[in-house]
Amino acid sequence: MKVKTELVKFKEGIELVSGSKLSMFELMVETYGELNEEKSNGILVCHAFSGNHHAAGISENEDTSGWWDQLIGPNKAIDTDKYFVVCCNNLGGCSGSTGPTSINPETNESYGKDFPAVSVIDWVNSQKMLAEYLGISKWSLVAGGSSGWYASSSMGHFFS
């Protein structure tokens, strides 16, 4: 299974539900399989509150299998021979995406306690921006457990 980890930078920023704005942000993303030419085989997997972007396989940055390794991979329920699977660390998370430990470009210091409140809808909006970055207009499936399920159910307008 092809596993790729990438830090995706969004220079246009994002307006948050709280009314705050991040002038730029980054999402740590792991992908599995390959996007087809039509870009119609994308599946977004959303992690639970304390999870991260490492959903399956063993990447060059990890020495353990991902948290949904039993479900994602060749000939598994989410078959990476058929689908291009995407999982990102949530905005505000602690595993590479912009969050409290990130450097605030306005002050050149870590956000710390000044990092704005982030909602599930903010996660969904950042994931929509990620889909656009990847050239995916609609996900074939969005799945997740715990708060990941809540995020996936909030994306009803963004399914194929």
Total domain count, the chain: 1
Domain that holds residue 132: 3-158
Q: Is the pLDDT of residue 150 over 70?
A: no
Amino acid at 69: D
- pLDDT recorded at residue 112: 96
Amino acid at 118: V
Phi, psi dihedral angles at 158 (to 5 degrees): -125, 25
pLDDT band at 119 (very low <50, low <70, confident <90, very high): very high
Please tell me the distance from the alpha carbon of residue 95 to that of residue 45, in angstroms, as a whole number: 16
Question: pLDDT by residue (tens digit) across 52-66?
Answer: 888 898 877 667 888
Provide the CATH number for the domain around residue 13. 3.40.50.1820
* Closest CA relative to residue 43, chosen from 119, 155, 147: 155
* Closest CA relative to residue 133, chosen from 36, 13, 10, 15: 10
Q: Kindly state the average pLDDT of the residues 32-37.
A: 96
Query: Would you call 123 exposed, middle or buried from its count of C-beta atoms within 10 A (0-12, 13-18, 19+)?
Result: buried
Q: Is the pLDDT of residue 157 over 50?
A: no
Question: pLDDT by residue (tens digit) across 72-87?
Answer: 999 999 999 999 999 9
Please tell me the distance from the alpha carbon of residue 116 to that of residue 22, in angstroms, as a whole number: 8
Give the residue carrying structure tokens 């210091």: 109
Question: How far does Cα 35 stand from its chain's mean position?
Answer: 16
